[in-house]
Amino acid sequence: MAQSKPQGRPGRKPSLNAEHVVVLRAITQEQPRSSLDEVTRELFRRSGIKVNPVTVRKALREAGIERLKPIRRASERAAQGRGAGVRTGYTEAHRRIDGASGLNTDLTDAEWALVGDLFQRDGQRGAPARYERRTVVNACCYVLRTGCAWRLLPKSFPPWQAVYMSFKRWGAAGTFETMHDRLRQQWRERVGKAPEPTAAIIDSQSTRSTAQGGHTGFDAGKKVKGRKRNLVVDTLGLLLAVTITPASVQDRDTAAKVVAQACAKVPGIKKLYTDGAYGGQCAVAIEKTHGISVEVVRHPGNRSTGTWQDAQQPLWPEEVAKGFVVQAKRWVVERTHAWNERCRRLIVHHDRSDWAPLAWVWLAEARILATRLAT
């Protein structure tokens, strides 16, 4: 006679309980465009429970949280006509008063008072400076703003050889970076922020190079042959770290170096906002190495991940426009790229060396902050 199976045999206890589902619901509401792996990591960060992403996906489905793909519509800019009714170019608000050299790229007295001591050599050995340091710095600002060759400096400035050697010495010593860091702290205090930020944003920009040579590559995504600037900025768009690599190097491969520089300069960084290029294993490596939280902010029209939708809310595909869409927090770094491109020296890489492009970026950002603080 066959034996009957025991009745009421208990099964395996589920990995996620009702409290974990509440946490999952909060995560998907705060980060609706996060991937399944990112939701799993955030669950571990908040609840301390480590489960497989498949288990998380099953729990989300049982809770009525589905992922919907967006419906793309025509861009509002395209519908209104690109550039229609938009005032572009310089206005009176952008124009500066001409300086001692007869050009409006010179530092004003108020701006020089903020940073002049960084370029002096008081108490050091050697012959006294042949040319006034302020005039040499003004010449560097002129080259940065106009993008001209060193040999084409106007005669109102010192000889280009002297200006270039001073720029090389200051760039190697990190004077422009020190100048920017001082002004960044002063500006953050003026707007009511702490001197050092706790959140940062990372992004890259590929710019073409000239026939001067140097380390260049081809960015197949942007169709650009040149170099790539990798920036880490704070939530105000102020620069924290920058690296220069060939354009062929992927964003995920350049993130480690520039994030390490930012964390070394500002140890208090706790949050890092990125785009989809830094997601996946790159985000995991940054979190493990530096102990900071990485949040990937994706475009609303990203159809690879979609958007988490709760069954308790109305379910319909989200309509988004093509092209650029302002993203909370992460769009700040895009604005910083636009600030840099006001300087014609940064539109194209004219320098063969690796240190000069870094010095130009620090000087450009410091120049912007000096103008703000002196106004």
Residue ranges covered by each domain of the chain: 18-67, 196-353
Distance CA 311, CA 230 (A): 40
Q: Are 278 and 303 in contact (CB under 8 A)?
A: no
Predicted confidence (pLDDT) at residue 319 exceeds the cutoff of 80:
no
pTM higher than 0.75, yes or no? yes
pLDDT in tens, 337-369: 999 999 999 999 888 888 999 999 999 999 999
As a whole number, mean pLDDT of residues 57-76 equals 75
Q: What are phi and psi of 327, to 5 degrees?
A: -110, 135
As a whole number, mean pLDDT of residues 269-284 equals 90
pLDDT in tens, 166-211: 999 999 999 999 999 999 999 999 999 999 999 999 999 999 988 8
Q: Who has greater pLDDT, 322 or 110?
A: 110
C-alpha distance from residue 196 to each of 20, 168, 203, 235, 268 (Å) = 35, 29, 20, 11, 7
Written as one string, the DSSP assignment of 236-256 is: T--EEEEEEEETTS-HHHHHH
Written as one string, the DSSP assignment of 125-184 is: -SSPPSS-HHHHHHHHHHHHHH---GGG--TTSPPHHHHHHHHHHHHHHTHHHHHHHHHH
Q: 322: which DSSP letter?
A: S
The superfamily (CATH) of domain 196-353 is Ribonuclease H-like superfamily/Ribonuclease H (3.30.420.10)
Q: Residue 136's closest CA among 161, 116, 166, 114?
A: 166
**Residue 328 exposure: Cα atoms within 13 Å on the Cβ side:** 5
Task: Tell me what pLDDT residue 328 has.
Answer: 73
CB-based contacts of 169, cutoff 8 Å, min separation 6? none
Task: Tell me what pLDDT residue 25 has.
Answer: 87
pLDDT band at 62 (very low <50, low <70, confident <90, very high): confident
Distance CA 242, CA 253 (A): 14
Task: Tell me what pLDDT residue 303 has.
Answer: 67
Q: Who has greater pLDDT, 231 or 122?
A: 231
Q: What are phi and psi of 244, to 5 degrees?
A: -120, 125
Q: Which residue shows structure tokens 């909060």?
A: 26
Q: Are 300 and 75 in contact (CB under 8 A)?
A: no
Task: Tell me what pLDDT residue 87 has.
Answer: 59
Q: Would you call 71 helix, strand, or coil by DSSP?
A: strand
Quote the distance between the C-alpha of residue 114 and its chain's center: 26
pLDDT in tens, 209-241: 888 778 889 988 889 999 999 999 999 999 999
